[in-house]
Structures are given as C-alpha cells and as structure tokens.
C-alpha cells in the first residue's frame, strides 16, 4: 500500500510590520505579495513629494523662454489654433515640423489658456515632473514589496543580500523619488520649457512600467481565483483588471512615442523588468503576457512613422556635420562619465556644453575603460545578480538612443539623464540601506541609531539638492542670464555667444547683440547661424549695407538655407534693389515651399513690379499655409478688389477674403472694414460699401487714426459719386 499524500497547508511562521504594510512570511514556494497600506503610503508620498518638489521648483515659475523655446513656442504658428488639430499634431510649416506631436499638442493647450505667458508653461512642466516622481514612487514601492525583493527568504532571488525590503518599502520609495525629483541635474528637463519633451516622455515611460506591474499583480491575483480557462487568454482578458492595466500600458507607450524617440527603448526595459522581478525568465514573461508585448512592440511603428514623416517633409538640415558615428561613439564615454559625476556632485551645470569630438587618447581611453567596465559589470549582474543588473541596464538602455552610435549635433545635454538618474539614486539609497542593515546585524549600530542616520542623511541631501536646484533655476530667469552663465562655464563655445546675441535681439537691443555675434564668428568663421543672426539684426537696425555683406558671406558657407535668402531679400528690398530681392525670395521658396513669410514678402515685391497675378498667387500660398493670416487676407482682398489689371480683378473672391479678414479682426480694425467696402464696391454693392466705410471711419476716429479716417471718408465720397450708387 502506497503512502497517502498529505494536503499541505501553509502555516504562518511570522509577521513583520512596517510603516507601510503588514507582511506575512509563508513557507518557501507559497510567498504572497505583501499588501501595502495604499492610502497612507500614497498620501504620505504625495505630501512629501509635493512639498519637496514644490519648494525646489517654486522659483522656476518666474523663468523665461530660452534657446529653442523661441522656435517651439513664441514663433510657432502650429500651436496657435487648437481647432486645426491635424496641423497641431503634424505642422506643415517645415520650420516647426517635428516628430513629437504630443508635445506640440500640450504647447497648443498652454497657448490656448495663457498665450505666451511663460509661467503657465513652467507650471505644466512642474506638474509633469511631480506626476513622474509619484509614478516612480509607485514603481519602487511595488518592486521592493514584490516576492523577489520583499521577502528576506526568497530562493528565486539571485540578487545576493538584497531581499527583505518590504518593511521599509514606502520610506525607501519616498526617499528615492524625492531625491530624484529635487536633484539639480533635473533642472534642464523641468525648468527649460521645451525639454518637456524629455519629462513628458519620462512620465509616460514610467506609467508604462507602472501599468505593467499593476497588470501582473492583478493577473497573479486573478489566476489564484480563476476557474474559467478561457479567461487565461490575453485577448479575452481585456475587460478584466489585468487586461485593462495592460491596455493602459500600451496606450502610455504609444503616447510616449509621440513625445520623444527615446521611448523606443521602453518595451525592452519593460520586458527586462518582467524577467527580473515578475516572471523570472524572458520565456515566462512572454508566455504570461504575450498580448501585452505585441502591443508594446506595435508602438514602435508610431515612432518610426513620425521620424520618416519628418525626414520626408523636412529633409533639409537633418545631417549632423560635427560628428561621424565613429567619432560620436568615441566621445560618448567621456560624456557618460560627466553625467555620472553630475549625478554624484551636481555642480557646474551648463545649458549648452558645445561638447567637442574626442580626439586624444586622454579623452578616449580612461573614460572608455570605465564605461566598458560598467557595461561588463551590468552584463554579469544581469545573469548573477539580476536586480542589481537591472539598475545598470536601466541606466544604459535609456541613454542608448542618444549616447551610443547615432550622431546628434549636441553630444552632451543634461536633460538626457532625466530617467537614467533614477537608477543612480535608487542604487545609492538602497545600497546605503543595506549597509546600515549589515551594521545592525554585526552589532555595530542599534536599529534606532541606524534609522536616525539614514533619515538624517536623506533629509540633508534632499535639502542640499533642493537648494542647488533653486539656485540653478535663477539662471533661467531670463535669456541674458542663462547665456552669461553658459559663457562663464564654456568660454570657447561659439553657440553660447550667438545665443547671447539672440537674447539681446529678442529685447530689441540690436546694438548690444552685434558684438556677441561677432565674437561667435571670431571663434568659428564658418558659423552660418551667427552670420545669419548678425545680418538679421543689422537689417532691423537699418544698417543695410553691412547686413547684405554678412548675409552674402553666410550664403558662401551654405547656399541652401532658405531663411538666409529670405533675410537677404528683405535687406535688398529695403535698399531699393527689388529685382534682386525677388530672386532671393524665389530661391528661399525653392528650398522651402511652405515658407509663409517668403511668400508674403515676395508678393509685396511683385506688386512693386506690377506683377499682380503672381502677387495674388503668393498671397494665396500664405493663406494655404497660415489660414488665419490677417494681413494676407486683407492684402489679397484689396488686390483683387482694386487691381488695375481687369484680368486679375475678382470682386467675388475679394469679398470672401475681405469678410474673413473682418472676422479675424473681430470687426475692430478700420483698415479691414475699408477693404471690405472696396470688395463690396467691386461687386457693385455700393450702398453696402458706403455703410461699411462709415463704420470704418467711426472706428478710425475712435482709435485716433485721423489720416486713415480722412482716407476712408474720401472713399465714401467716391462711392457716392459712382453711377452704380445712384442706380
């Protein structure tokens, strides 16, 4: 007679209580997920993170638009009309075309609420950063309370002495999230408005992982109760809690792809996390959640499509001239070592490093050996100590798209560390916690003393970081201060001098801008951007001959830059050289057919040469690109209504454009009403022309435009004398 198998009943052998949860320790193989006290832990995290991040970044709300903010926000027509959602998501004007439609949409929402008031944009950036910190808190806490790290006795966890974090998970997660949130290295991603690209992508990256973790927890809980086999299929489970979490993860990943291309690494990092902390193997992760990973992989099509769209519609200026793939690869170890130095000692932060290619052995070999060593350690740890290895993989994988072999004009920028910094902070905090535990176990410290040391250390570092962050934010208070700060730290960076010149130009201080542009050209004679900007401010200040010389010099460097031809056209037109101006406007449009300003000024130049039909066509092109261009509407309507060439004159079309101009001006601009009167007259509706011009004359008088009012009254008399009026 064989032995009768006994039913095994897990026995409770101990209970560990902490500030965030109660953990039941069961026999090996029957471990349960600890149950966090979600309400108290989440509220504590919200309070701590909100307070620390708020104090650190409160003064960022007074910051100005700097550097690329000008092009993305101040000069970006695609964000000015939420009604044209297609144009917001994929603007046709190639100057602002980009592969980050979600970012452009958030900017359009900001613009709809507050125009170009920088405080609103900074407020949204801070909100995104705070949400990212809260999401990081959730990820860390759930990771530390998972069976692989939460229990002190887990034979499946090959991470060495890293188990048993459950009792301190909430406090450790708050410490990591808070230090990450207030670290000065994050200021470029938060305070520099357009680096919302990085922080928004970071938030969606973290949300993708968080939703996967929640889905896995729900799936594990459901599998213990599940009796209906078909519910195990991922497609069938979409309406269940695991399915909804997984669907949310895919949605977050897709949105992230529309924020920044670095999001392409998210499916890989999520799979690695799943293998490390949830399933124990890649095969197990794919078997349990293959529907999820199909969805995450499908999101790659989004980023690929967006990048190809930009390459198709805006091929000019894509190539990077400073680096080859090989020189970029050799330069990046030095950049990564610099990032790590800033993570541990965040001083000397700089908006624009102007990092040159590494050409000497001293610049290549020492940092190269260190980074290769860290990569080798990460590979070893992923096999032998997966939890530790995941931190290294998180750091390197997220930086891989921008810090490997794909050359980017800027080899080093601080905002790229936004997510990777989390691995460094987590490693230091958890390492310190384990070190204190060892001291307690060895009798060197009491538990109370250890808690005091750990807490005080975190608080002091957080205070120091917050103070440095506030100090760094003051550099962003205006364009002049941030570029003076950059020049002080990188005195040989020509772009910093050029950008300081731009700052003075934006303040209409043209004479103060000129010497900074000349300094940039002195450092880099082939710096076309500096020559172009110098030419532009010389045009604005009326120094036309100097402007023409600088712009012609810029075209010798690169004859295929549309805006240089356009600005040279402006200078030539103002100098009375209209035919030459027309040639440069036309060349600008050959390079960029969607250059609205070039169409507009070419139309004006063609009118000066009585080429009426061509002028009308270019005004129509302006309105194709910018349908709400008030001046183009008005000018086209007046041309069609009053053109001396009968073959061009078209009263019906003039009336349509004039009515639109009046609507765009909210019936408050007398010149637009006068144009509408001219359109009425062109269609023979003289009574309406007179009535409209009377309203225009009243407005002109109310607005103290006496000369315009006299002109309008003269038009009224002319319409009254017209035979069609008497009929």
Amino acid 675: pLDDT: 95
User: What pLDDT, on a 0 to 100 scale, did the predictor assign at position 393?
Assistant: 97
The answer to whether residues 589 and 599 touch, using CB atoms and an 8 Å cutoff, is: yes
Contacts of 687 (CB under 8 A, 6+ apart): 725
| H/E stretch holding 17 | strand 15-17
pLDDT of residue 166: 86
Query: Is residue 69's pLDDT more than 50?
Result: yes
Q: How many beta carbons lie within 10 A of that of residue 212, not counting itself?
A: 29
Distances from the Cα of 639 to the Cα of 238, 632, 647, 720, angstroms? 60, 10, 12, 22
As to burial, measured by CB atoms within 10 angstroms (0-12 exposed, 13-18 middle, 19+ buried), residue 526 is: middle
Q: 3-state class of 185 per DSSP?
A: helix
- Residue for token digits 């690695």? 272
Q: CB atoms < 10 A from the CB of 297, how many?
A: 14
pLDDT the model gives residue 312:
64
Q: 3-state class of 195 per DSSP?
A: helix
Averaged over 51-71, what is the pLDDT?
92
By three-state DSSP, how is residue 556 classified?
helix
Q: What is the average pLDDT score of the chain?
A: 87
* Residue 134 or 93, more confident: 134
Is residue 128 within 8 Å of residue 200, measured between CB atoms?
A: yes
**Cβ(421)–Cβ(205) under 8 Å?**
no
SS3 assignment, position 21 = strand
The predicted model gives 188-216 an average pLDDT of 96
Average pLDDT over residues 401-429: 95
DSSP string, 423-440: HHHHHHHHHHHHHHHHHH
Please say whether the beta carbons of 182 and 53 come within 8 A.
yes
Distance separating alpha carbons of residues 284 and 265, to the nearest angstrom: 20
Q: Residue 229: pLDDT above 60?
A: no
User: In whole angstroms, what is the distance from residue 182 CA to residue 462 CA?
Assistant: 7
pLDDT band for 34, please (50, 70, 90 cuts).
very low
Is 23 in a helix, a strand, or coil? strand
Q: Is the dihedral of CA 590, 592, 595, 597 positive or negative?
A: negative
Separation of alpha carbons 676 and 685, rounded Å: 11
Residue 306 has pLDDT above 90, yes or no: no
Beta bridge partners of 24: 15
Question: Which tens digit of pLDDT belongs to each residue from 494-505?
Answer: 999 999 999 999
DSSP 78: G
Domain boundaries, the chain: 641-727
- The alpha carbon dihedral of 230, 232, 235, 236 has a sign of positive
pLDDT of residue 441 exceeding 80, the answer is: yes
Report the largest interatomic distance among the alpha carbons of the chain, rounded to a whole angstrom: 125
What's the DSSP call for residue 271? H
448 pLDDT above the threshold of 70: yes
Q: Beta partners for 16?
A: 23
Residue 509 has what DSSP assignment? -
- Residue 206: name the closest of 268, 144, 262, 249 by CA: 249
The mean-pLDDT minimum among 229-243, 427-441, 682-696 falls in: 229-243
Structure-block tokens of residue 578: 């209209």
Supply the pLDDT for residue 39.
58
Q: Which residues of 305-334 are buried (b: 16+ CB within 10 A; e: fewer)?
A: ebeeebeeebeeeeeeebbeeebbbbbbbb
Q: What is the pLDDT of residue 578?
A: 96
Predicted local distance difference test score (pLDDT) of residue 127: 96
pLDDT (0 to 100) of residue 230: 35
Name the nearest CA neighbour of 180 among 369, 346, 377, 6.
346
The tokens describing 524, both together, are 């880099």
Torsion angle of C-alpha atoms 565, 569, 575, 576, degrees rounded to 10: 140
Question: Percentage of the chain surpassing pLDDT 70?
Answer: 87
CA dist 517 and 502 (Å) reads 8
Positive or negative: CA dihedral 170, 172, 176, 182: positive
The 3 state secondary structure assigned to 239-251 is CCHHHHHHHHHHH
Q: Tell whether pTM > 0.95.
A: no
Per-residue pLDDT tens digits for 533-588: 999 999 999 999 999 999 999 999 999 999 999 999 999 999 999 999 999 999 99
Q: Three-state SS for 15?
A: strand
Distance, C-alpha 439 to centroid of its chain: 44
- What's the sign of the alpha-carbon dihedral 110, 204, 328, 412? positive
Which run of H or E residues covers position 301? helix 300-313
pLDDT score for 725: 67
Among 566, 607, 606, residue whose Cα is nearest residue 587: 566
> Looking at residues 11-31, what average pLDDT do you find?
35
pLDDT attached to residue 301: 94
Element (H, E) at 514: helix 510-523
Residue 2 — pLDDT band, cuts 50, 70, 90?
Answer: very low
The stretch 691-699 carries a mean pLDDT of: 94
Confidence of residue 1 (pLDDT cuts 50, 70, 90): very low
Does the structure show a pLDDT above 60 at 17?
no
Say which DSSP state 36 is in.
Answer: E
Q: What is the DSSP letter of 486?
A: H
**More confident position, 160 or 56:** 56
Pick the CATH number of 641-727 from 3.40.930.10, 1.25.40.10, 3.60.15.10, 3.40.50.2300: 1.25.40.10
Q: Is 465 exposed, middle or buried (0-12, 13-18, 19+ CB in 10 A)?
A: buried
Compute φ and ψ for 680, nearest 5 degrees: -60, -45
Strand 15-17 with 35-36, pairing:
unpaired
pLDDT in tens, 619-662: 999 999 989 899 999 999 999 999 999 999 999 999 999 999 99
């Amino acid at each position: 007679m064989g032995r009768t198998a006994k039913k095994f009943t897990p026995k409770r052998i101990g209970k560990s209580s902490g500030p965030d949860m109660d953990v039941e320790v069961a026999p090996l193989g029957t471990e349960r997920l600890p149950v966090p006290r979600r309400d108290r832990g989440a509220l504590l995290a919200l309070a701590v993170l909100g307070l620390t991040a708020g104090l650190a970044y409160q003064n960022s709300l007074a910051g100005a638009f700097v550097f690329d903010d000008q092009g993305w926000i101040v000069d970006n027509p695609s964000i000015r009309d939420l009604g044209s959602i297609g144009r917001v998501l994929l603007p046709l004007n190639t100057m602002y075309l980009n592969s980050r439609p979600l970012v452009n949409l958030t900017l359009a929402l900001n613009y709809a609420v507050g125009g170009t008031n920088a405080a609103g944009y900074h407020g949204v950036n801070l909100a995104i950063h705070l949400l990212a910190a809260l999401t990081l808190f959730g990820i860390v806490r759930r990771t530390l309370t998972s069976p692989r790290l939460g229990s002190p006795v887990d034979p499946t966890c090959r991470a060495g002495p890293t188990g048993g974090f459950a009792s301190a998970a909430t406090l450790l997660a708050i410490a990591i999230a808070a230090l990450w949130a207030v670290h000065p290295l994050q200021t470029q991603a938060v305070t520099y408005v357009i680096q919302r690209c990085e922080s928004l992508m970071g938030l969606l990256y973290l949300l993708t992982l968080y939703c996967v973790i929640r889905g896995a927890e729900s799936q594990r809980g459901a599998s213990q109760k599940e009796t209906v086999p078909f519910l195990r299929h991922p497609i069938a489970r979409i309406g269940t809690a695991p399915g909804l979490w997984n669907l949310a993860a895919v949605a977050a990943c897709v949105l992230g792809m529309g924020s920044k291309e670095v999001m392409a690494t998210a499916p890989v990092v999520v799979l690695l996390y799943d293998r490390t902390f949830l399933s124990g193997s890649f095969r197990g992760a794919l078997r349990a959640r293959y529907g999820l990973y199909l969805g995450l992989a499908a999101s790659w099509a989004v980023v690929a499509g967006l990048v190809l769209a930009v390459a198709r519609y805006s091929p000019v200026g894509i190539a990077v001239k400073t680096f080859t793939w090989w020189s970029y690869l050799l330069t990046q170890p030095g950049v990564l070592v610099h990032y790590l130095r800033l993570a541990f000692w965040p001083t000397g932060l700089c908006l624009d490093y102007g990092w040159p290619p590494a050409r000497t052995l001293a610049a290549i070999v020492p940092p190269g050996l260190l980074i290769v060593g860290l990569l080798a350690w990460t590979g070893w740890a992923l096999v032998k100590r997966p939890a530790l290895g995941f931190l290294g993989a998180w750091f390197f994988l997220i930086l891989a798209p921008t810090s490997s072999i794909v050359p980017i004009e800027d080899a080093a920028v601080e905002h790229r560390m936004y997510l990777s910094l989390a691995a460094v902070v987590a490693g230091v905090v958890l390492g310190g916690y384990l070190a204190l535990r060892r001291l307690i176990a060895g009798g060197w410290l009491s538990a109370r003393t250890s808690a005091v040391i750990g807490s005080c250390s975190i608080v002091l570092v957080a205070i120091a970081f917050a103070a440095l962050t506030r100090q760094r934010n003051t550099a962003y208070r205006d364009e002049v201060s941030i570029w003076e700060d950059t020049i002080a730290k990188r005195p040989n960076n020509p772009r910093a001098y050029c950008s300081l010149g731009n700052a003075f130009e934006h303040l209409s201080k043209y004479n103060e801008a000129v010497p900074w542009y000349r300094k940039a050209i002195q450092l880099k004679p082939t710096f076309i951007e500096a020559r172009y900007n110098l030419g532009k401010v010389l045009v604005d200040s009326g120094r036309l001959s100097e402007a023409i010389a600088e712009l012609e010099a810029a075209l010798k460097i690169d004859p295929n830059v549309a805006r240089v031809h356009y600005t040279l056209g402006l200078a030539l037109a103002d100098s009375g050289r209209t035919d030459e101006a027309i040639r440069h406007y036309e060349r600008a449009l050959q390079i960029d057919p969607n250059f609205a300003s070039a169409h507009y000024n070419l139309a004006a130049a063609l009118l000066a040469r009585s080429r009426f039909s061509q002028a009308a066509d270019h005004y129509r092109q302006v309105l194709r690109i910018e349908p709400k261009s008030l001046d183009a509407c008005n000018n086209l309507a007046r041309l069609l209504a009053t053109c001396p060439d009968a073959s061009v004159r078209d009263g019906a079309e003039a009336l349509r454009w004039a009515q639109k101009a009046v609507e765009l001006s909210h019936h408050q601009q007398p010149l637009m009403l006068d144009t509408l009167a001219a359109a009425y007259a062109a269609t023979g509706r003289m009574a309406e022309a007179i009535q409209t011009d009377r309203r225009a004359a009243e407005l002109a008088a109310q607005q103290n435009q006496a000369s315009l009012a006299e002109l309008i009254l003269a038009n009224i008399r002319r319409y009254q004398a017209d035979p069609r009026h008497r009929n």
